[in-house]
A and B are shown apart, each in its own frame.
Chain A
Amino acid sequence: MLFDPVCYSVNSTAMGDVLAAVPVVKYAIDTYHKECDYRIVASKHFREFFYFVPDGKFLVMEDDTWKFDKKYSIRRLNDMEPKGGNLCRLTPARMSLSHYASIGLLGTILSPETYNYMALPRVSVNKFSIDFSKAVILVVSYRDVNRSIPSEELLKIATFVKSRDLIPVYVGRTVDGAWRERAPVSPFTPPKFGIDLRNQTSILELASIMDKSLAVCGVDSGPMHLAGTTSVPIISGYTNVAWQHRIPKRSVGKTIVIEPDPMDCRYCSSVWAKDFYNFLNCFYGHNNCVKTLRAEKYIDALTSILEGK
């Protein structure tokens, strides 16, 4: 087989997009680049996802050091015009993140088994002094109001976890990265019970914590995809994006989908065809999909996991 030398630019700041792209990149390296050179460009925040890429072949997106030899053809995860905007209007809201990565980076569609998220290197989390075998991880920070879970519902879930003599552990990131310009819209304030690990974990630490825990609960977001690199049971809510497009791909581990109540507009970003609308805000302004991600749905799912069903 003959191939061009390629630079794969995983040019997304969304952790889920990048995690879904990792197995695609691995496939490309194993299939096309045994004898043909390549480079991987990604954010420095996500370097550890590409642990199988040697240092000399990994270029940091933020440093702009990837102005390389033009013998490489560039393939971008997000096909952006120089001034921004998506040239092809392909969006990962309308197809699975994995298909999106495969089409964006390889121009093809790979077989489903190729898409399984790759396990990340485990790191020590002893410094947190928490018995994670009794922990339920709650993802509590979100970027978009229409992709979040109401704070009062989070509190009910946390209360339920505590009532079962388990430990609610609050995770998420509110101080840097993608959050810099847009503050989390669901400013959950952790109660006095449970453990607040917000902004205290590295990505690898968070994955290791999740791997040791009883379950991870939240709404479709980067940390939920991170949970997808482990076998921990996941309870994930979906609002404006269809769960079929976003459920983490993995060969082991139970994932329970929490859907909004039936309504015409749920999963709007996936089902509709409005290219000029910014789905970061509810089209109708009511956010009913978010409001119906009620605690009892999560509690029912969590109960079934705790009871081994």
Chain B
Amino acid sequence: MIIADPVCYSLNSISMGDVIAAAPVIKYAMNTFHTNTDYKVLVRPYYWDIFKSFVPEDKLGDQSQPFTCHPPWQIRYLNTPRSINARTTSMHMHLSTFASIQLLNRIIPETELAYLPMPKVDVEHFNIDFSKAVLIVVTYRDDVRRIPFSTVAGIAEWVMSKGLIPVYIGCVDSSDIWKDSPFKLAFDALPFGGISLLNKTSILELASIMSLSRAVVGLDSGPIHVAGTTSVPIVCGFTNVAPEHRFPMRPKGIFIPVTPSLPCSHCQSRWCLNYYDFGFCYFKHTECVKQMTADKFITALDHIFQFGV
């Protein structure tokens, strides 16, 4: 019998990718250490849907509210405070490994880290034939982690030329992530044609839509990790973070990374500058973003449509 402390797991991240990668770690902990020992999972309410299918309601708490615990209870944080003593970051290792180390202090087997499928919900009210849809993630928080407008236009045009529907997804104002972002994108005008579902989907709806669609295209971001909970083909660009640290863990589903070719590519993963804020390009040229050109995504999409999954 495994003997364990009662633990409060605090998923103190506002990044959806971090939380999705942590979900299987929580499930592993519940099944391994908490069959006879109590636990609590603290997470922001807008991510509760990710956990409701396997964490009982009374064990799920609001991470944004103050929480104290006393021994034998202990609290484990996904993100430890940024300091010189806690420089383990998800940039230098896979998100899932990071979650495993931070929450469980151990590296659990890769087979246990597969992203958990989300409950399917009805998406008929969108009146879209998703079997013809290619979802394009168009909202990003950081200047160094986004797709240029021209790239979105190029991809959309190509998708339409194939008789398919570009569907724009993302979220620009529903969470505090975007509040202060200088790169808040407004796609209201939709200059490229297609359908906008910006700010119109819940997380579960987004996952259900993705699972019905032909492919998901975008830069490494929360929605790409939502796609990772399904088996939909994913074409994902990586600028400042290395793809080997961010690909969604899943048993099936094609994943094609699109990468820049620069000496400074994936700087945040390869360099060791603890005091620099990689939300901004170190050299101020954001050349990696500029190299996220439509042709690279189109080549990958074409491969998927020709050769299947």
Q: Which A residues contact B (CB, under 8 angstroms)? A: 1-4, 6, 32, 73-76, 79, 87-91, 94-95, 99, 103, 106-109, 264, 268, 271-276, 283
**Smallest CB gap from A33: residue in B:** B272
Q: Which of B4, B76, B101, B107 contacts A272 (CB 8 A)?
A: B4
Q: Is the CB of A89 within 8 A of B272?
A: no
Q: A2-B273, A276-B71 are in contact. List 15 more A-B contacts (CB 8 A).
A: A32-B272, A73-B87, A74-B84, A74-B85, A76-B85, A87-B85, A88-B88, A88-B102, A94-B106, A103-B88, A103-B93, A106-B272, A271-B2, A273-B4, A275-B105
Least Cβ distance of B302 to chain A in Å? 34
Take A2-B273, A94-B105, A272-B4 as given contacts and tell me if A108 and B87 are in contact as well, using a CB distance cutoff of 8 Å.
no
Q: Is the CB of B107 within 8 A of A106?
A: no
**Smallest CB gap from B100: residue in A:** A95
Bound complex: CA A4 to CA B282 (Å): 14
Chain A residues with CB under 8 Å of B133's CB are none
Take A91-B105, A273-B2, A273-B104 as given contacts and tell me if A4 and B274 are in contact as well, using a CB distance cutoff of 8 Å.
yes
Q: Is the CB of B271 within 8 A of A3?
A: yes
Least Cβ distance of A240 to chain B in Å? 12
Least Cβ distance of A282 to chain B in Å? 12
**Smallest CB gap from B92: residue in A:** A108
Bound complex: CA A283 to CA B3 (Å): 10
**Smallest CB gap from B269: residue in A:** A108
Chain A residues with CB under 8 Å of B74's CB are 89, 275-276
Q: Is the CB of A99 within 8 A of B107?
A: yes
Chain A residues with CB under 8 Å of B86's CB are 79, 87-88
B72 contacts partner chain A, Cβ-Cβ < 8 Å: yes
Q: Is the CB of A95 within 8 A of B85?
A: no
**Smallest CB gap from B74: residue in A:** A275
B1 contacts partner chain A, Cβ-Cβ < 8 Å: yes
9 pairs, A vs B, C-beta closer than 8 Å: A4-B273, A4-B275, A73-B274, A95-B106, A106-B92, A107-B92, A273-B2, A273-B5, A274-B5
Chain A residues with CB under 8 Å of B273's CB are 2-4
Please give the number of chain B residues whose Cβ is less than 8 angstroms from any Cβ of chain A in the complex.
35
Chain B residues with CB under 8 Å of A276's CB are 5, 71-72, 74
Chain B residues with CB under 8 Å of A87's CB are 80, 85-86
Bound complex: CA A276 to CA B5 (Å): 8
Bound complex: CA A74 to CA B7 (Å): 30
What is the predominant secondary structure among interface residues of chain A facing chain B?
Answer: loop
Take A74-B84, A89-B105, A275-B5 as given contacts and tell me if A107 and B33 are in contact as well, using a CB distance cutoff of 8 Å.
no
Chain B residues with CB under 8 Å of A79's CB are 85-86
Interface hits, B87-115 → A, CB 8 Å:
87-89, 92-93, 97, 101-102, 104-107
Q: Is the CB of A73 within 8 A of B92?
A: no
Take A87-B85, A94-B106, A107-B89 as given contacts and tell me if A264 and B271 are in contact as well, using a CB distance cutoff of 8 Å.
no
Q: Is the CB of A88 within 8 A of B80?
A: yes
**Smallest CB gap from B72: residue in A:** A276
Least Cβ distance of A201 to chain B in Å? 35
Chain B residues with CB under 8 Å of A264's CB are 1
Which one of B86, B89, B107 has the highest number of Cβ atoms from chain A below 10 Å of its Cβ?
A: B107
Q: Which of A1, A75, A268 contacts B87 (CB 8 A)?
A: A75
Chain A residues with CB under 8 Å of B72's CB are 276
**Smallest CB gap from A272: residue in B:** B3
Bound complex: CA A274 to CA B33 (Å): 10
Chain B residues with CB under 8 Å of A103's CB are 88, 93, 101
Interface string of B56-91 (1 = CB under 8 A from A): 000000000000000110101000100011111100
Chain B residues with CB under 8 Å of A283's CB are 3
Chain B residues with CB under 8 Å of A1's CB are 270-271
Interface hits, B18-34 → A, CB 8 Å:
33
Least Cβ distance of B267 to chain A in Å? 8
Q: Is the CB of B85 within 8 A of A6?
A: no
Q: Which of A4, A73, A109, A274 contacts B4 (CB 8 A)?
A: A274
Q: Which 9 A-B pairs have the closest CB atoms?
A: A273-B4, A108-B92, A94-B106, A3-B272, A2-B271, A273-B33, A272-B3, A107-B92, A107-B88
Chain A residues with CB under 8 Å of B271's CB are 1-3
Bound complex: CA A94 to CA B4 (Å): 13
Bound complex: CA A229 to CA B97 (Å): 29
Chain B residues with CB under 8 Å of A76's CB are 85
**Smallest CB gap from B283: residue in A:** A2
**Smallest CB gap from A283: residue in B:** B3
Which one of B2, B74, B106, B267 has the highest number of Cβ atoms from chain A below 10 Å of its Cβ?
A: B106
Chain A residues with CB under 8 Å of B1's CB are 264
Q: Which of B3, B92, B106 contacts A274 (CB 8 A)?
A: B3
